[in-house]
Amino acid sequence: MPAERRPNRGPSAAAANRAALIAAAREVFAGAGYDAPLSMVARAAGVGQGSLYRHFPDRVSLALAVFEDSMAELEALAARPDATLDDVLGLITEQSIASTAFVAMVTVPPQPDERILALRERVAKLLAGRLPEARRAGRVRAGVTADDLVLAVGMVALLLAKVPARERPGTAERMWALLRRGIEP
Amino acid sequence: MPAERRPNRGPSAAAANRAALIAAAREVFAGAGYDAPLSMVARAAGVGQGSLYRHFPDRVSLALAVFEDSMAELEALAARPDATLDDVLGLITEQSIASTAFVAMVTVPPQPDERILALRERVAKLLAGRLPEARRAGRVRAGVTADDLVLAVGMVALLLAKVPARERPGTAERMWALLRRGIEP
Amino acid sequence: MPAERRPNRGPSAAAANRAALIAAAREVFAGAGYDAPLSMVARAAGVGQGSLYRHFPDRVSLALAVFEDSMAELEALAARPDATLDDVLGLITEQSIASTAFVAMVTVPPQPDERILALRERVAKLLAGRLPEARRAGRVRAGVTADDLVLAVGMVALLLAKVPARERPGTAERMWALLRRGIEP
Amino acid sequence: MPAERRPNRGPSAAAANRAALIAAAREVFAGAGYDAPLSMVARAAGVGQGSLYRHFPDRVSLALAVFEDSMAELEALAARPDATLDDVLGLITEQSIASTAFVAMVTVPPQPDERILALRERVAKLLAGRLPEARRAGRVRAGVTADDLVLAVGMVALLLAKVPARERPGTAERMWALLRRGIEP
DNA sequence: TATGAATGAGCTTTCATTCAT
DNA sequence: CATGAATGAAAGCTCATTCAT
């Protein structure tokens, strides 16, 4: 009688498990950092280790899934015709504060992983999309590229990741005060 | 065949071992980050595990030794009467490029270790010392504090740590182009 | 040639592993003392280190499992209405001979561990339960407390632990010959 | 410049070193137990590790030297014509309280080491010497042998070793209250 | 397909012992 | 002959990954 084994809820549970894993990973990555043990994620999701590996064969694929939401949110904002570059940067910053791992990983990939680079491209594209208009509006200097912005965003995210959560808003504020002036004409 | 036991080179090897450990740690920290396994350092130094622990009882004391040189160099520059804030920031940036771990650790301590915080203080003081003059020279805006500079410096170092070595100079250049404008009046 | 990797026998091996670990620990504790390396237990059980730690996260929990049988046996005897104090002491002595670590640990806890102290309490209570009757029967002097008995029992167990197995019965006999006279009125 | 190496005080220091090692070992064994690191002994003695090994090639030989004093004290007492068995047992008990390691090791050797067994013999002989007289004085029952006494003494010492120092006198008292009655006719 | 136990590699740390100086 | 650094073999423990059920 090996204690109480969670019942095999069958294939129909697959989608629910997947969702639970993503939600759990979001929490865990936020709380314990991107390097948290995967077993912690599985436990938090109430799911077996094996299921985690079935859905997400490695840490990166789990992270990608976790970050997809944030990414979508970002792209949704960027797609709105009235969204300015500042709006986009603002949202990224908010996301950095809430989930440093996401922005840092997306903008400054820790390993040369194909899939992560793809994400980075999406961010770059999204920023590039807002850039011409921002230039016209006199918000951005000529020399500043979308790549510069990606790097700046990532840089701030890396910093925020090292800062206690309660100091993040203030720190983000201070760094963007510098960077914004550096971006403006 | 147990591999080849390293001969006991005796006490005279102590100094050489210590130096080898520091050099190896510098490499390893640069390559694999500040969290790299200490055993890797010992291996890279060609030194037994025990010797590493004799010389440096914990990770921080090893790091302090590794970074002492850089710190001294920095303080030497800051002590020269003709050194400007830009000179100091420039040197820190160079150091960030060469040894990202140093600047990142000093400016944005990963753990609240007494000794690391002391280093941070040294850097902050050193920057603060150059600040009034830089303000008088019209190089720095009123609102910018030494703390802002420490954060900025750390932020760039964190970014450089994630970037392949050969892209570091260019990346540092680009980020400081933004930040410098943010700092100036 | 990395030796021969043990095949992963799957979850069905869990119960068997647990039992093997307990059995191995009983042997190892008896042979090498309670301070024996846990890795030795894992090896003796033919089980990976990780499995040992999964089943028993620390030394104490392993010991508790090992000793639970003995404890139950003891309490079963003490619960019988016709059991005398001598019977109980006799059984403890037998157990001391067979598994010195158990009695020594329970009666004279090496560390102030909550769970071990609880075991000690169980033994003390169990002896105390038989004491009044033994006094009435003229088998125990007035001044002798249950605590005295616990100490005496532990003391003998410690001694037996240091004595080669084949000399244990005789040694126990001799020591109890002294102690019994000390206990009687 | 490797710090401050203790000067080599030459051969004449040998005796002083030896004495310092014995004194240090006595302290260390008492404080940190018989299993304390030998390096701790060397440090406490202000002596190099190598010197420790020169004087005492293994832990046992160091222990023997440490215990020789106690042994001599014991034999001196036993040699006095007016010393009773009780006196000798009393002194052993005192020694047990002060330095549990000594009595435990001498009376119940942890390993079958020739030299330790010899010590045990000395204790047995010493007790045997006082036994006939104690029997005549009606202090000891006929069946009780010197070996019984050695075992009893060792047993108490083992117990005391497991008991916090401040409880030792009381515990010794209680156990000997039992044992003494067991010994008397 | 889900489960969670099994596995062992790898890391940190300690310490007995050796040995160049 | 003293010194103390060098050495590496454990030991404890964690975790990514595999795999029988």
Please tell me the distance from the alpha carbon of residue A135 to that of residue A143, in angstroms, as a whole number: 10
Domains identified in chain C and CATH numbers: 13-57 (1.10.10), 60-183 (1.10.357)
Residues of chain D with pLDDT under 70: 1-13, 110-111
Pair A13, A47: CB distance under 8 Å: no
- Over the stretch B121-160, which tens digit does the pLDDT of each residue have? 999 999 999 999 999 999 999 999 999 999 999 999 999 9
Please tell me the distance from the alpha carbon of residue D141 to that of residue C181, in angstroms, as a whole number: 11
Pair B154, B143: CB distance under 8 Å: no
* List of chains touching C (3+ CB pairs within 8 A): A, D
Which of A42-51, A55-64, B94-103 is the least confident region?
Answer: B94-103
- Residue B12 CA and nucleotide F5 C1' are separated, in Å, by 8
Written as one string, the DSSP assignment of D75-93 is HHHHHSTT--HHHHHHHHH
Pair D24, D44: CB distance under 8 Å: yes
Residue B96 has pLDDT above 90, yes or no: no
Tell me the residue ranges of DSSP E strands in chain B: none
**What are the Cα distances from residue A94, in Å, to A80, A130, C110, D148?**
18, 18, 53, 79
Nearest-CA distance from A181 to chain B in Å?
5
DSSP tag of D142 = T
**Amino acid making up residue B111:** Q
Q: Which long-range contacts (CB under 8 A, 24 or more apart) does B33-37 make?
A: B33/B101, B33/B161, B34/B63, B34/B101, B34/B104, B34/B105, B34/B110
Which of A162-171, B110-119, B144-153, D123-132 is the least confident region?
Answer: B110-119
Percent of chain A with pLDDT strictly greater than 90 = 56
**Which pair of structure tokens corresponds to residue B158?**
């964190």
**Amino acid making up residue D45:** A
A2 falls in which pLDDT band (50, 70, 90)? very low
- Residue C109 CA and nucleotide E17 C1' are separated, in Å, by 33
Residue A7 has pLDDT above 50, yes or no: yes
Give the N- to C-terminal CA distance of chain D in Å, as an integer. Answer: 72
Tell me the pLDDT of chain B averaged across its residues.
88
- Over the stretch B49-62, which tens digit does the pLDDT of each residue have? 999 999 999 999 99
Residue B2 has pLDDT above 50, yes or no: no
Closest residue by Cα to residue C85 from C161, C158, C176, C168: C176
Closest-approach residue (CA) in chain D for B17: D2
Closest residue by Cα to residue C101 from C10, C166, C152, C25: C25
Pair C184, C139: CB distance under 8 Å: yes
Give B14's contacts in chain D (Cβ within 8 Å).
2
Please tell me the distance from the alpha carbon of residue B173 to that of residue B176, in angstroms, as a whole number: 5
- Residue D37 CA and nucleotide F6 C1' are separated, in Å, by 18
Nearest-CA distance from D137 to chain C in Å?
19
B43 CB-near residues (< 8 Å, 6+ apart): none
Give C15's contacts in chain A (Cβ within 8 Å).
2
Give the number of other Cβ atoms within 10 Å of residue C114's Cβ.
7
* List of chains touching A (3+ CB pairs within 8 A): B, C
B91 CB-near residues (< 8 Å, 6+ apart): B73, B74, B77
Say if C15 is an interface residue toward chain A (CB within 8 Å): yes
Closest residue by Cα to residue A13 from A55, A41, A70: A55
Pair D25, D62: CB distance under 8 Å: yes
Q: Match 């070992």 to its residue by tokens.
A: D25
- Over the stretch A51-87, which tens digit does the pLDDT of each residue have? 999 999 998 899 989 988 888 999 999 999 999 888 9
Closest residue by Cα to residue C120 from C147, C159, C86: C147
A3 falls in which pLDDT band (50, 70, 90)? very low
- Residue B60 CA and nucleotide E12 C1' are separated, in Å, by 14
**What are the Cα distances from residue B109, in Å, to B43, B106, B117?**
26, 6, 7
Question: How many C-D residue pairs are in contact by the CB < 8 A criterion?
Answer: 68
Q: Do C and B count as touching (3 or more CB pairs closer than 8 A)?
A: no
Pair D139, D86: CB distance under 8 Å: yes
Say if D153 is an interface residue toward chain C (CB within 8 Å): no
Please tell me the distance from the alpha carbon of residue B171 to that of residue B156, in angstroms, as a whole number: 9
**Which pair of structure tokens corresponds to residue C160?**
């037996």
- Over the stretch C7-20, which tens digit does the pLDDT of each residue have? 777 667 788 899 99
A6 falls in which pLDDT band (50, 70, 90)? low
C108/B27: higher pLDDT: B27
- Over the stretch C41-77, which tens digit does the pLDDT of each residue have? 999 999 999 999 999 999 989 999 998 888 899 999 9
Residues of chain C with pLDDT under 70: 1-6, 10-11, 110
Closest residue by Cα to residue D127 from D177, D82, D102, D92: D92
Rounded (10°) CA dihedral B89, B93, B96, B98: -130
**Mean local confidence (pLDDT), B91-119:** 83
Q: Do D and A count as touching (3 or more CB pairs closer than 8 A)?
A: no
Chain E bases near protein CB atoms (7 A cut-off): 1-21
Please tell me the distance from the alpha carbon of residue B19 to that of residue B25, in angstroms, as a whole number: 10
Q: Match 């990142």 to its residue by tokens.
A: B104
Please tell me the distance from the alpha carbon of residue C106 to that of residue C56, in angstroms, as a whole number: 18
Closest residue by Cα to residue C103 from C61, C128, C73, C145: C73
Largest CA distance in chain A: 72
Question: Positive or negative, the Cα torsion across B110, B112, B113, B117?
Answer: positive
Please tell me the distance from the alpha carbon of residue C154 to that of residue C103, in angstroms, as a whole number: 6
Written as one string, the DSSP assignment of C25-91 is HHHHHHHH-TTS-HHHHHHHHT--HHHHHHH-SSHHHHHHHHHHHHHHHHHHHHHSTT--HHHHHHH
Please tell me the distance from the alpha carbon of residue C156 to that of residue C151, in angstroms, as a whole number: 9
C67 CB-near residues (< 8 Å, 6+ apart): C99, C102, C105, C106, C119
Tell me the pLDDT of chain A averaged across its residues.
87
Nearest-CA distance from B77 to chain A in Å?
25
Give A2's contacts in chain C (Cβ within 8 Å).
11, 14-15
Confidence (pLDDT) at D100 = 83
